[in-house]
């Protein structure tokens, strides 16, 4: 007869058991509950909402709303979690403390979340806060190494609060989520950092998920004695644009403004960073002459050289074309006479090579011009109106981003790209059906759904379709939503239907 496990033996087992398995046992085995709760949970991710709990990216349906979640957490004293998101405090027992490195307080006042965080945690590695919900945030700047600020209602008062935090001498490294600083604010911030002599390693990152973040170069160069420069190899990081703007700071450091491309190709972050002196170098004559700024300056002001300059293809990393401005390699050019000014710059050219091309207005493009690109974003235009300007040698593209409500015939062009990013400005039933038809197409490329969420039924149907069509190794569907959680569909249902199982990646394939 097998001897029952001792209480201490059970605790030792629970200490090394997967978090999701522990919660499952807690729910179904009351006899083990006391031993399981006495051992702190160790999780990678935990999201707490009013009607659901997401543990290590697995979403649990909650039958009796938050009371069901509370019973899972009740009786515990500590939960260790690397990344904690708290969106509802009613689900947290009063006696529970979280030990975490990265905290997201969502749309809650951070002061209400603070009592549930173990004091031994501070300073946090990263804190994400809605500043419109936390008016006293300046009191807590010393509690984190990095602060991510976002806001649901951005107005003049919030803008003043953001500036007061940015200018605070004790301010940690900051990331501004969906903020765009004006030219005047950026100049004032750089002057403030100079005055306070910020330490090497101080960083401010700015990005916007739905708008272009532009650098108004003229204002920065003129007002702050800045210069165009290039990173030295020793300071160059992955995904960093080698070209930057450097501002004099002191004898041991320099202030550098540059851009980073990370994740998807459309995601660009602007970074202001205090770096050791010597991180950048002067442009060489060849780099200076080759640079777009010089080429366009020559084209604009030297008519005698225009023909020769226009005959040589431009080679760019990124280019954005709008009705009233052009953004090339992260530099925004103010356009005095609207689209005609842009058109005059592009006129006479036959080919422009560009890694990442975003066309927001096709009327600025001369009829004779062709773009050779790897990554194309047609914005809210019909893709069919953009394709005539794309050189045939570009196909298949590496990635194509399309608004499906503007391009009803997109299925004709699925073979023109290795990956397609689908987004939608007005998602209705008809568009949902159309997305499904693309996902189920045997010949579809790898797909990214931007701000779309598949239902449990759609996920089941898609897996069944891929199984029937025997998709090749490397076939990928990616789903992401900028403002909503993306928990996995009902795990139990997927397991039952497809005989699935929870597994771990081998180190050889882990990304």
Q: Where are the domains of the chain?
A: 291-394, 399-511
Mean pLDDT by 10 residues, the chain (511 residues): 66 74 74 75 86 77 56 75 90 86 94 92 93 90 92 72 85 86 85 91 84 67 82 66 84 89 64 91 57 53 60 78 78 58 65 90 84 93 93 90 88 88 73 78 81 79 85 84 60 77 75 60
Q: Tell me the pTM.
A: 0.63
Token pair for 256: 């550098």
Token pair for 138: 């300046």
Q: Which helix (H) or strand (E) holds 20?
A: helix 19-28
Helices 30-37 and 19-28: crossing angle in degrees, nearest 10, is: 140
Q: Which helix (H) or strand (E) holds 286?
A: helix 285-290
pLDDT of the residue at 429: 66
Residue 465's contacts (CB-CB under 8 Å, 6 or more residues apart) are: 439, 440
CB 400 within 8 A of CB 387: no
- Whose tokens are 């019909």? That residue is 382
CB 144 within 8 A of CB 163: no
For residue 504, whether the previous peptide bond is cis, meaning omega lies within 30 degrees of 0, is no
The helix, strand and coil proportions of the chain, stated in percent and rounded to the nearest 5, come to: 35, 30, 35
Exposed, middle or buried by CB within 10 Å (0-12, 13-18, 19+), for 502? exposed
Q: Which helix (H) or strand (E) holds 267?
A: none
CB 355 within 8 A of CB 317: yes
CB 131 within 8 A of CB 111: no
Token pair for 16: 């090394």
From first CA to last CA, the distance across the chain in angstroms is 46
Neighbours of 70 (CB within 10 A): 17
pLDDT of the residue at 82: 94
């Amino acid at each position: 007869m097998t001897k029952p496990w001792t209480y201490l033996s059970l605790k030792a087992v629970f200490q090394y058991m997967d978090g999701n398995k522990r919660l499952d046992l807690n729910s179904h085995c009351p006899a083990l509950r006391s031993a399981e709760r006495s051992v702190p949970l160790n999780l990678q991710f935990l999201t707490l909402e009013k009607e659901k709990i997401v543990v290590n990216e697995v979403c649990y349906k909650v039958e009796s709303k938050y009371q069901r979640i509370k019973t899972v957490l009740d009786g515990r004293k500590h939960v260790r979690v690397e990344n904690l998101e708290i969106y509802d405090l009613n689900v947290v027992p009063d006696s529970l403390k979280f030990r975490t490195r990265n905290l997201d307080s969502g749309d809650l006042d951070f002061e209400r979340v603070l009592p549930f965080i173990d004091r031994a945690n501070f300073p946090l590695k990263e804190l994400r806060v809605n500043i419109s919900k936390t008016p006293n945030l300046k009191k807590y700047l010393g509690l984190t190494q990095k602060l991510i600020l976002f806001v649901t209602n951005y107005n003049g008062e919030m803008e003043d609060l953001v500036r007061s935090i940015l200018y605070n001498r004790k301010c940690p490294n900051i990331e501004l989520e969906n903020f765009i600083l004006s030219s005047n604010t950026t100049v004032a911030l750089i002057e403030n950092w100079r005055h306070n002599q910020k330490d090497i390693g101080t960083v401010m990152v700015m990005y916007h998920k739905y708008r272009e973040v532009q650098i108004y170069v003229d204002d920065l160069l003129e007002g702050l004695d800045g210069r165009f420069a290039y990173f030295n190899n020793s300071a160059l990081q992955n995904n960093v644009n080698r070209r930057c703007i450097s501002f004099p700071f002191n004898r041991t450091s320099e202030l550098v403004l540059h851009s980073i491309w990370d994740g998807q190709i459309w995601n660009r972050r602007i970074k202001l960073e205090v770096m050791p002196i010597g991180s950048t170098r002067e442009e060489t004559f060849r780099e200076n002459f080759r640079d777009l700024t010089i080429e366009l300056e020559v084209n604009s002001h030297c008519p005698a050289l225009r023909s020769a300059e226009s005959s040589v293809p431009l080679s760019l990393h990124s280019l954005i074309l709008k009705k009233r401005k052009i953004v090339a390699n992260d530099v925004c050019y103010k356009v005095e006479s609207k689209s005609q000014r842009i058109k005059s710059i592009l006129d006479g050219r036959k080919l422009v090579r560009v890694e990442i091309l975003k066309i927001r207005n096709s009327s600025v493009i001369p009829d004779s011009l062709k773009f050779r690109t790897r990554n194309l974003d047609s914005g809210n235009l019909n893709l069919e109106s953009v394709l005539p300007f794309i050189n045939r040698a570009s196909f298949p593209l590496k990635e194509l981003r399309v608004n499906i409500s503007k391009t009803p015939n997109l299925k004709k062009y699925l073979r023109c790209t290795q990956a397609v990013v689908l987004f939608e400005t007005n998602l209705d039933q008809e568009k949902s059906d159309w997305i499904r038809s693309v996902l189920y197409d045997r010949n579809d490329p790898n797909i990214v759904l931007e701000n779309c969420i598949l239902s449990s039924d759609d996920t089941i149907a898609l897996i069944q379709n891929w199984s029937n069509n025997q998709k090749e190794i490397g076939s990928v569907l990616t789903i992401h939503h900028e403002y909503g959680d993306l928990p996995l569909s009902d795990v139990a249902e997927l397991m039952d239907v497809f005989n699935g199982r929870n597994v771990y990646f081998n180190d050889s394939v882990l990304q």
